Amino acid sequence: MKICFATHNPNKLKEVGQILGEGFELIGLNELGENEELPENQKTLEGNSREKAEYIYKKYGIDCFADDTGLEVYALDGEPGVYSARYAGPGKHSRDNIALLLENLKDKENKSAQFRTVITLIKKGRVYQFEGVVTGIIIDAPRGKDGFGYDPVFIPKGFDQTFAEMSLGQKNEISHRGLAIEKLAGFLKRKIKKN
C-alpha cells in the first residue's frame, strides 16, 4: 500500500517506516516534491494534524497521514503543548527549545510531563484519528545522542534512560508516536485484509 506521511523530517520517516513494516510503501513530502512548510494554524494537536493531512490530500489526491506531537508539562499548565516545535521561536531549534523549557522549570518541583501524538489519516476521503500518550519526567540536563526534539530531557515512566539514550527500536516500543502509529498500522492492515 502506497501512503504518504506528511513530513519533511527524515528521522520521523525512518521511525514510522520501521513501525509500519512490510506491505507499505511510505513516502514523505520530499518525494512528492512538496518543499513548503505545511500549515499549522490550529490551537490543538488534533486540529494541526488534520489541517496538514487535508492540505496534502487536497493538493495531491493521495492517501496520507500527518501527525502533530506536543510535550505537555504539568507544572507549566500543559506548555509547550501544540507550540512544542517553536517554543523558543519560529526557528524550531531543539537546543533552544530545551534550554527555554529547563529555564521555565528550574524553580518547579513537579517535573511530570507527557508526550502526546495525534495522527490524522485521510484514506479515500475519509478522516480517522489515532492518539498515543507516554508519561514521564523532565530531567535537569540533556542526556543521549539519539532521537530528536525534547528526547534528551525526557525519561519515560518505568525507565532510567532518556528517549535520546534508547535505541530506535526501544523507543518505538514505548513512545507516543510509536503507540499512535501502532494504532494506525493495525487499522491499515485490517483495511488491507478486507479488500
Q: Which residues are catalytic?
A: 68
Are 157 and 170 within 8 A, CB to CB? no
Give dist(CA 138, CA 82) in Å, integer: 17
Residue 23's nearest CA partner among 188, 187, 183 is: 188
Give dist(CA 101, CA 104) in Å, integer: 5
Q: If you search the block for the grid coordinates 489526491, which residue do you land on? A: 61
Is residue 92 classed exposed, middle or buried when 0-12, 13-18 and 19+ CB atoms within 10 A define those classes?
middle
Helix (H) or strand (E) holding 170: helix 168-174
